[in-house]
Structure 1
Amino acid sequence: MWEEKTVDYNLCDYKSLVKLLSPYGFNFSKSLGQNFIIDSSVCPTMVEMLGTDKNTGVLEIGPGVGVLTKELCKASGKVVSVELDERLYPVLEKTLRDYDNFELVKGDCMKLDLAEILKEKLSGFDTVKVCANLPYYITSPVIMNLLESRLPISEIEVMVQQEAAERLCAEIGTRAAGAVSVAVKYYGESEILFNVGRECFMPSPKVDSSVIKIRLYDEPEYTVKNEKKFFSLVKGIFAQRRKTLVNSLSNSVGMSKAEIQNALSKMGLEPTVRAENLTMEEIVALSDLLLK
């Protein structure tokens, strides 16, 4: 039940946060990777770069105490936030009581039917986007779940560990790229928007963060014979990065070296080529030759 009287909580102030959370005996959970933003410039910048209006619905993953959520509610038509930590439910009732365009969904975003949630709660909007400050330990699983689910969303904007951001947004064909880079590229175009220092969080993590954006393709940019087998092959391609592609694939996927060498030859590639030398187009072409 929402309280009628309004209290303006400064969610970016350490003392205010302690005062807000202490009645609930709240302690930051290392297992949930909880680090709350206390720099007042970060969330408004995220929302501005997300680009929302009253015709935009937003799915937020992990609202925490609602610091990013409040900015999203101000700029968007509706915000639906999925939160796993039940200790934060009464806190969010307090901090977001003024926003009638906010709705909390209780549960684990990795187990909930996100497509059904979007259909039920955000289907009336012209555009739906995802925004989140993700715990480091679930960055890749959450992003891949969002992409693989093929949700009716146009963009994903998330704050992640800086190292993970560089990997997710790496150009295919460079040393920085890996299997997750290829997976992201398969579904959309990604870029790093800006960096966020560790001092901007409470408690302060040991690493810096970055905000990235993934713009999903309106139409598939790449087509493969079998997506499941394609992604398994991609993992094999990058499984042993220091080895040649022939050795890496033969060891990880169990294909014969002769079969892999034959496919590379048809593509005009040397048998000594490594994963980091392949473009996205070459990876897709190689999969078509190897996957029956």
Structure 2
Amino acid sequence: MMCKDIQPLTSPRVVKELMARYGVNFKKSLGQNFLIDRNILMKIIQAAELDRQDVVLEIGAGIGTLTRELANAAKLVVAIEIDKRLFPILNETLAGCSNVELIQGDVLKLDVKQLVQKYFGQRPFKVVGNLPYYITTPVLMMFLESNLPFEAMVVMVQKEVAQRMTAVAGTKDYGMLSIAVQYYTCPEIVAVASANVFIPPPKVDSAIVLLRKRPNPPVHVQDPTVFFKVVKAAFGQRRKTVLNALTALEMEGVDKQKLQDMLKKCNIDPKMRGEDLAIQQYADMANALCLESQKGQ
């Protein structure tokens, strides 16, 4: 069922009047910047490639601007919103949206697996949201590291974070987040959005990012835990060479000389730094470390 027509929530005047009527102010601590640009709104919907069979988990319903469009395109929308004050507004803006379930809570503290099981069962779902900047990375990592059957994520994030998510080895934006995101998904920047498409405008530009979940990682990794330990060590102190970063891991039975020999076999210069190594090289190092560790047991 289509949501009941109300005044456009992309109108700054309507948003301000609505919030004033309910006595609600924008809460900076919750990163509340509401989208007021229909063109950008439609780009999010298009990137999600929704049809009437899709089920969607929305992170941060706000006043329902994106929620309404999701509800008009998908079969079911489960929308999480942390701010209790916005629920009277949501009850008005989502009136007639019979395919929306509102959940009050912090997405990082809720039992999302239980939530997904309750509303979606084993069905693949899509995650969509205008993520507050202060929780972007924790939210992304929570979903990436979970075994939840999501197909794709379409998220509005800080432009700099989007650039880090899609960065390649040898560039200044390349880091732990780049590797984690690219290990689990195929990331793509769909569009860049200036600060003035929000009310109130944030101090930075944003970007819509589409993350298509990979059926399998792009590299073979014997032990993902070791792989991510190596990545974390390499980027923990950017000035450290890869040899010194791996030495700091203090893996049992693997001394500095063994590490040097291992890196040589992997065709990796021990003096290279974390930002210079491609994801395949991290996989090679992690797999070689697993092998050395097994020999020492």
TM-score normalised by L of structure 1: 0.91
Partner of 1:136: 133
Point out where structure 2 has 5 or more consecutive residues left out of the alignment. Answer: none
Q: Quote the Cα distance in structure 2 between the aligned partners of 1:284 and 1:72.
A: 38
Q: CA deviation at 1:290?
A: 2.0
User: 1:126-162, CA deviations, whole angstroms, 9 ceiling, x for partnerless residues?
Assistant: x411101000111100000011112111101100000
Q: Quote the Cα distance in structure 2 between the aligned partners of 1:158 and 1:210.
A: 8
1:173–1:280 CA contact under 8 A, matched in 2: no
Partner of 1:35: 33
Work out which of the residue numbers 47, 50, 68 in structure 2 matches 1:49: 47
Q: Quote the Cα distance in structure 2 between the aligned partners of 1:79 and 1:276.
A: 39
- Percent identity, aligned pairs only, is 40
Partner of 2:177: 180
Q: Quote the Cα distance in structure 2 between the aligned partners of 1:42 and 1:60.
A: 16
Partner of 2:196: 199
Q: Quote the Cα distance in structure 2 between the aligned partners of 1:129 and 1:191.
A: 16
- Please report the RMSD computed on the Cα atoms of aligned residues, expressed in angstroms: 1.8
Q: Does residue 95 of structure 2 align to residue 106 of structure 1?
A: no
Deviates more, 1:109-118 or 1:46-55: 109-118
TM-score normalised by L of structure 2: 0.90
1:131–1:156 CA contact under 8 A, matched in 2: yes
Partner of 2:153: 156
Deviates more, 1:276-285 or 1:139-148: 276-285
Work out which of the residue numbers 230, 236, 241 in structure 2 matches 1:239: 236
SS of residue matched to 1:112: coil
Work out which of the residue numbers 163, 175, 198 in structure 2 matches 1:166: 163
Q: CA deviation at 1:228?
A: 3.0
Point out where structure 1 has 5 or more consecutive residues left out of the alignment. Answer: 1-5
Q: Does residue 287 of structure 2 align to residue 288 of structure 1?
A: yes
2:188–2:209 CA contact under 8 A, matched in 1: yes
Q: Quote the Cα distance in structure 2 between the aligned partners of 1:165 and 1:57.
A: 25
Q: Quote the Cα distance in structure 1 between the aligned partners of 2:256 and 2:22.
A: 60
Equivalent AA in structure 1 for residue 192 of structure 2: N
Deviates more, 1:215-224 or 1:134-143: 215-224
Q: CA deviation at 1:176?
A: 2.3
User: 1:146-186, CA deviations, whole angstroms, 9 ceiling, x for partnerless residues?
Assistant: 11112111101100000000001112454421011111111
* Superposition pairs of residues 66-85 of structure 1, within 5 angstroms: 66-85=64-83
1:179–1:234 CA contact under 8 A, matched in 2: yes
Q: How many residues align?
A: 285
Q: Does residue 86 of structure 2 align to residue 88 of structure 1?
A: yes
Q: CA deviation at 1:254?
A: 4.1
